Amino acid sequence: MTTVGKLLVFLNLVFSLVVGAFAVMDYTARTHWAAKYKELENQYKVESGAGLTYKAEADRLYKQQADLNDKLASSGDKELRVEKPEDAGKVAQKAAALLTERARTIDELKKQLQDKSGEITRLNAELVKASTTATVSVADVGRRQDDVAKLVTQLNDERTKNNNLVLEKNKLRDEKTAAEIDRKSFKDRSEQLASDNQRLEKLVAAMKAAGGAAINTRLTTTPPPQDVEGLVKKAEGNLVTISIGSDAGIQRGHELQVFRLGTNPKYLGRIRIVEVTPKNAVGQAVGKMSGAMQENDRVATKILGGGN
């Protein structure tokens, strides 16, 4: 086999390896993550195009070598035709120059192949790194979701506890308000009883001084019915119109407790009924009130289950 033939065989081997290398790289790229696969596939297409270009160049060189062989064999080219001994040196020099050019071309192709192989290796490493990062990120997201679920459960438990505490606080506040109203009611009632007792003592003393003569003064009135409650419909100074009357058992002279519920509960004092209709009544403040009476204040014979 001639040197040119060996060179052509070597070129064929090199380009076969190039094509094989691209096939291996294509197979390797297809096994990686889908997000990088598209990018590698695009790059592979570029490299395949380059490989085809290189192969076309190699085919061209091969054809040139074949033509050169034909020319050398057929002595069609006068410059390469050895007709006499001194022509052999010229033909050899020209063939050597042609082989040197082809060798330089092969070296350039090898260098380009190595560069592309290095680029593919780098891209594979980046793909592996990206895949590892994605796996770690997914695991981290899972852990964070678990933490969030635990925090939500704790938050719900704390919210339930807080709601229970608020209910307990409201209950204690209502109980405190009721106790305060009862205390003030009992105190006011005690003061009223003391005042009535003093009035009765004065009346008894007057009766004794009059020699026991009859006095047309009414000492007591019929007590109001138990558990009667109404609202203040209208308030004008120390007079109020309430929403209960004789149909509920209210009579002139009855005394009712006045208090306020809601966000600012308050015991206001007592009123004495001065006018009565079946559905309404008019009451007048007894003694000093702890605050001005208002519409929707409550009146009752008992305060939250307390006594008169």
Strand 239-242 to strand 255-260: parallel, antiparallel, or no bridges (unpaired)?
A: unpaired
Residue 292 has pLDDT above 70, yes or no: yes
- What is the model's pLDDT at position 233? 96
pLDDT, mean of residues 222-248? 90
Query: What is the residue extent of each domain of the chain?
Result: 3-147, 229-300
Tell me the average pLDDT across 223-228.
82
Q: Give residue 73's pLDDT.
A: 57
**Residue-averaged pLDDT of the chain:** 78
Q: Say yes or no to pLDDT of 248 above 80.
A: yes
Given the candidates 2.40.10.410, 3.30.360.10, 2.60.40.10, 2.60.120.10, the CATH classification of the domain at 229-300 is 2.40.10.410
Give one DSSP letter per residue of 129-142, joined into a string.
HHHHHHHHHHHHHH
Is residue 220 very low, low, confident or very high in pLDDT (cuts 50, 70, 90)?
very low
- State residue 72's pLDDT score: 60
| pLDDT number for residue 276 | 96
Give the mean pLDDT of 282-307.
84
The mean pLDDT value for 121-144 works out to 88
* Top mean-pLDDT range of 75-89, 125-139, 202-216: 125-139
User: pTM here?
Assistant: 0.34
Torsion of CA 172, 174, 180, 184, to 10 degrees: -170
| Interatomic CA distance for residues 79 and 72, integer angstroms | 10
Per-residue pLDDT at 213 exceeds 50: no
More confidently predicted of 22 and 117: 117
The pLDDT assigned to 203 comes to 52
Provide the pLDDT for residue 8: 80
Has residue 77 got a pLDDT over 90? no
More confident position, 55 or 296: 296
Give the per-residue pLDDT at 232.
96
- 229, β-bridge pairs: 300
